[in-house]
Amino acid sequence: MNTSEIYPTALVIDDEAFMRKVLATQLRSLGCKGVICHESGEDALNTLQQHKDDIKLILCDLQMPEMDGIEVLRRLGDMGYGGSLILISGEDNLTMSMAKKLAHAHGLNLLGGLRKPAQSAELASLLSRLPSPVRKTERSRQTQQVCAKELAQGIRQGQLVNHYQPKVSIHTGQVVGMETLVRWQHPEHGLLYPDAFIGLAEEHGLIDQLTHGVLAGDHGALAHLKQWRQAGFELHVAVNVSMDSLHDLNFPNVIAQLAQDAGIGLQNLVLEITETRLGTNMRSVIDVLTRLRLKRVRLSIDDFGTGHSSLAHLQELPFDELKIDRRFVHLAHQDQSADNMLAACMRIAHDFGIETTGEGVETEADWLHLQRAGCDIAQGYWIAKPMPAEQVIDWLQKWPSRKLPETGAAHGATPCAIAPGSHAIT
Ligand code: C2E
Ligand code: CA
Ligand code: CA
């Protein structure tokens, strides 16, 4: 690996002198620009105040005599610290997972937790999650500056671009579908990610136009699916739909028309539904989803277990797939409470007889753990990051030669050709 200075200056807060020394050495050798160490939280926060612009990474021990790590988290939250954070602990897994939840609740950008004694490989893997400076600037700049008018214009002018992330059967290793993740190619600010504009679209009544733009036209998800299927890949395409779009009773007809125009059977379309706001009028949602299902569109409940997509919805809505949020997938093999949630999601899906997809598979260990848990489909950076449409066919052609764990053998030489839900369980 290139060990030139690729990471920002790090601030280490740990009362144990030995740990500070070990971490400082590891951080420097992994490519941090500088490392500042403090024994106490109070001193560290003073340093942070003075060097706010330089310190973009904090490693903080939980167990410390005066100000403990939990208090440091609270203070970082209060000061709106926007850099990244790694928690260090010699405590049990439950304490670490509670502290992680707290970090999220404070709105902190947590890269993950490190168990004592710190392993350099684990630290390297956490550092690799640091946001790249380019993407970070684009995102933060844009959340402040884009306005609804610009977005409406962007949608009209075709500035939305779909990226696609593969969904792979854990049972067979075959690609079953592609999830569409929209980006906005902004003329001034470059490529923007959904968290910069989906909320805006929902608040300003633009989400239906956005969904339409994602699905329709020569560069829409349905046209792309048509190309992949013509190239011999029997995939489905999944599109994210906010619950706001399900109030329009005409939505199923619009979808059916778009699919017909694109020459795509509705059984090859999956709609991934996330509840983004409370107070939804469930009557129209049930009406719309039931009619979509009658038309053979497959329905998926996204971000399951996060509080947005609730258990009650499973009972009243006709879902075919349950997507397990990445916080219960990535690292679940070493985090007991995440693993408990994963197991609970699996049981619920099994009881309802629906297929499961685990999101956020970032490592081989995540894949193996999902496999042991009995999950059907996997998605995540370890398989592939979301990619532009032009790269999909090339990726699909290469995927069969990728060696997957368990057998260690390549898992098939022909283009994958299975319909969603029809993979064999081996
Ligand atoms: P989502 O549906 O849960 O999509 C998964 C998000 O996780 C994507 O972020 C994806 O890039 C990211 N991801 C995938 N694999 C991994 C992994 O292994 N590790 C990590 N850390 N992240 C991974 P993205 O593209 O930024 O999208 C964020 C959210 O924006 C999506 O979450 C979805 O809710 C929403 N979104 C995206 N496209 C659309 C759209 O066309 N319409 C609507 N309404 N929402 C959309
Ligand atoms: Ca999704
Ligand atoms: Ca999700």
- pLDDT for 144 equals 43
Asked if residue 400 has its Cβ within 6 Å of ligand 1, the reply is no
Would you say residue 140 lies in a domain?
Answer: no
Residue 3 has a CB neighbour count (10 Å cut-off) of: 9
Supply the CATH number for residue 36's domain: 3.40.50.2300
Containing domain of residue 293, as a range? 146-401
Protein residue with its CA nearest to atom 21 in ligand 1 = 360
Backbone phi and psi for residue 361, each to the nearest 5 degrees, phi listed first: -75, 100
Would you say residue 420 lies in a domain?
Answer: no
Distance 274 CA to ligand 2 centre (A): 8
Asked whether residue 61 falls in the same domain as residue 167, the answer is no
Cα separation of 260 and 341, whole Å? 40
Asked if residue 89 has its Cβ within 6 Å of ligand 1, the reply is no
Supply the CATH number for residue 316's domain: 3.20.20.450
- pLDDT for 142 equals 41
Asked if residue 181 has its Cβ within 6 Å of ligand 1, the reply is yes
- pLDDT for 198 equals 93
Give the tokens for residue 70.
Answer: 């939990």
Minimum-distance ligand 1 atom for the alpha carbon of 239? 41
- Contacts (Cβ under 8 Å, ≥6 apart) of 184: 151, 154, 159, 160, 161, 191, 192, 196, 197
Asked whether residue 96 falls in the same domain as residue 170, the answer is no
Asked if residue 302 has its Cβ within 6 Å of ligand 1, the reply is yes
Asked if residue 274 has its Cβ within 6 Å of ligand 1, the reply is yes
Asked whether residue 123 falls in the same domain as residue 152, the answer is no
For the chain, how many structural domains are there in total? 2
Q: Which residue out of 84, 128, 181 has the highest number of ligand 1 atoms within 8 Å of its CB and is therefore the one to mutate?
A: 181
- pLDDT for 417 equals 39
- Residue 146's identity, in one-letter code, is V
- pLDDT for 133 equals 58
CA angle (219, 161, 218) in 5-degree steps = 5
Cα separation of 397 and 383, whole Å? 14
Widest distance between CA atoms in the chain: 67
Asked whether residue 218 falls in the same domain as residue 87, the answer is no
Asked whether residue 355 falls in the same domain as residue 302, the answer is yes
- Residue 21's identity, in one-letter code, is K
Asked whether residue 28 falls in the same domain as residue 153, the answer is no
Distance 39 CA to ligand 2 centre (A): 42
Asked whether residue 311 falls in the same domain as residue 231, the answer is yes
* Whole-prediction pTM: 0.71
**Cis link prior to 388 (omega < 30° from 0)?**
no
- Averages of pLDDT over runs of 10 residues in the chain (426 residues) are 69 94 92 92 95 91 91 92 93 83 88 89 90 48 66 95 98 97 94 92 93 96 98 97 89 96 97 72 84 93 75 79 93 90 94 94 96 97 97 97 70 41 35
Residue 292 has a CB neighbour count (10 Å cut-off) of: 23
- pLDDT for 329 equals 94
Asked if residue 200 has its Cβ within 6 Å of ligand 1, the reply is no
Would you say residue 327 lies in a domain?
Answer: yes
Would you say residue 138 lies in a domain?
Answer: no
Q: Which residue out of 125, 142, 179, 240 has the highest number of ligand 1 atoms within 8 Å of its CB and is therefore the one to mutate?
A: 240
Asked if residue 240 has its Cβ within 6 Å of ligand 1, the reply is yes
Distance 403 CA to ligand 1 centre (A): 26
Cα separation of 280 and 278, whole Å? 6
Asked whether residue 112 falls in the same domain as residue 155, the answer is no
